[in-house]
Chains A and B, each alone.
Chain A
């Protein structure tokens, strides 16, 4: 039984070499797709129930089927911005299993009729981008990119594009603005990218891990994909980036539906908390998370898009940051707020001003210089930002604030005076 669908390089050495990849059934999915009707490829991905791994969990096949067929050319853009604090999975895929990812890009492009695809990488992934450029060249030399691929009339070029340090460029419309040579600020939606995306043309934007899941689905069929793991509504495996106060931080690929307990305490995975301290809270989706109280109920919650919601969180990009009893929440939110205040693109006032003020108040609380009224003010400001921002970053900035004050009030009350 294969253990991995995405982190296959952990079982197969040198999988980032094209000859090894070819020996391991490399490009079988793409070869099969090229013989299929494009709609049939999209339908297979729909039937597999694959959901976007970039955070929102939107059904991938459904997204592809939204592409406007009366407006050409079409584009595919791979989102390799990977900037959510706590997330470090896409980088491992691109470094160690790059061809599976590129094959996914190629299948998606074929399915939606795109002849050009871009991979948008955060600027810090400078070396990864240069490495991918080499892999793209090798793939073209092997006849899987370029003109008339595998003797068909289908042609495809893949290009990398490096960002330059801006978390907001992970938001898909800001990312498209950035490729267009503008400041990376989100667009008003609708229109959504499948109607008007890059250069105002229909565009599919998918996360690296999402695209890397596609070759298996096409090569083996939707049913086999569902059998590999996961639940009815959240099929497949997912890479969990585990960090924070655990003994063994790292990426772990698990079927969706595994529990927080297995991930955090399993011997093969997180291995428990540093110095065997007590676990206090879980941030399941990086700095954008709500803080989940790490009680037995939460620890036994299946890791699916639906179930994590039941304990007051979101699976998001599955960047699980573990918080133990040594960490105080008033400190933690100074960290998340400093991040969001730095990364707000400034386009809308509630986010720009809200993150600035929340950061300032949280720092005063942490320094023991604030009153109880300030604490209430912080909660109020966060509540006022919610629902009033152009993109989700504004919303994200409030999640840890509101949930930590509501669920861990004692940490704050100890810091403020009357």
Chain B
């Protein structure tokens, strides 16, 4: 099913934000919409969006490739993205990530065996005063979790695991 068939109202609302002669502007919001169900963008999605916006599929792919929050490969249902950039690193984020990684038994870039969580190391998320912190990205959106401990993180993951069932 195409995006316009699946989410007719939302697609219409997105297109209405931009001048009709510049509908290419809708590519980013439509890519987010395409990720909603599975958490990643398929080849069919790209072709679909290209058609809707009078772009080529190659153009759409190059947008997906440029921005780090667009994914065209399957990963865990939740991407747990820990900031270890300068501000967080000065307040213990690297040690936090190492301990979390040990507890989960996976390295950054890897996914838990049940396919629930992919652990990632990311650049500054504009929360340097609330380190250690991470965001959770899934098809449904992105949430911040600040001033975290390893224990609180493991609890959160348990909650996500229950919800996913």
Contact = CB atoms under 8 A, between A and B. Distances in A.
B127 A88 contact: yes
Contacts of B19: 199
A253 B69 CA distance: 32
B19 to A, nearest CB: 7
Contact of B129 (A162, A250, A339): A250
A91 B87 contact: no
B67 A123 contact: yes
A260 B129 CA distance: 18
Interface string A107-148: 000000000000000111111001000000000000000000
Given A85-B124, A343-B123, A180 B85 contact: no
User: Which one of B25, B67, B91, B128 has the greatest number of beta carbons of chain A within 10 Å?
Assistant: B128
B135 interface: yes
Given A184-B66, A249-B128, A335-B89, A124 B135 contact: yes
B35 to A, nearest CB: 10
A161 interface: yes
A342 interface: yes
Nearest to B16: A159
Interface stretch (A164-172, A292-300, A305-313): A164-172
Interface string A151-183: 000000001011111110000000000111111
Contacts of B55: 181
B17 A159 contact: yes
Given A124-B69, A181-B26, A339-B124, A85 B87 contact: yes
A86 interface: yes
B128 A243 contact: yes
A336 B123 CA distance: 10
Contacts of A163: 28, 67
B113 interface: no
Interface in B17-42: 17, 19, 22, 24-29, 31-32
Nearest to A335: B86
B53 interface: yes
A336 B89 CA distance: 11
By DSSP majority rule, is chain B's interface helix, strand, loop, or mixed?
mixed
Interface string A231-260: 000000000011111000111000000000
By DSSP majority rule, is chain A's interface helix, strand, loop, or mixed?
mixed
B24 A86 contact: no
Nearest to B140: A126
A30 B121 CA distance: 43
Contacts, number: 130
Contact of A241 (B70, B123, B125, B129): B129
Contact of B126 (A124, A159, A244): A124
Contacts of B27: 181
Interface stretch (B95-103, B141-149, B157-165): B141-149
Question: What class of interface size applies to chain B in its complex with A?
Answer: 35 or more
Contact of A335 (B17, B85, B144): B85
Contact of B66 (A84, A91, A183, A336): A183
Interface string A64-95: 00000000000000000011111110110000
B83 to A, nearest CB: 9
Given A86-B87, A127-B144, A181 B123 contact: no
B9 interface: no
A327 interface: yes
Question: What class of interface size applies to chain A in its complex with B?
Answer: 35 or more
A86 B123 CA distance: 11
Given A124-B135, A165-B69, A243 B129 contact: yes
A88 B90 contact: no
Given A164-B31, A339-B85, A342-B123, A86 B63 contact: no
B109 to A, nearest CB: 14
A416 interface: no
A50 to B, nearest CB: 23
Interface in B58-106: 62-63, 66-70, 85-87, 89-91
B68 A164 contact: yes
A127 B91 CA distance: 25
A241 B128 contact: yes
A174 to B, nearest CB: 11
A321 interface: yes
A182 B63 contact: yes
Contact of B91 (A164, A199, A249, A323): A249
Given A86-B87, A339-B124, 12 more contacts: A85-B86, A85-B87, A164-B32, A164-B70, A180-B25, A181-B26, A241-B128, A244-B91, A250-B129, A251-B129, A287-B86, A335-B86
Interface of B: 17, 19, 22, 24-29, 31-32, 53, 55, 62-63, 66-70, 85-87, 89-91, 123-129, 135, 141-144
30 contacts: A83-B124, A84-B124, A86-B87, A87-B126, A90-B126, A91-B126, A123-B69, A123-B142, A127-B141, A127-B142, A130-B141, A161-B17, A163-B67, A164-B28, A181-B22, A181-B25, A181-B26, A181-B53, A183-B66, A184-B66, A199-B19, A241-B128, A243-B90, A244-B91, A287-B86, A321-B86, A321-B87, A336-B86, A339-B124, A343-B123
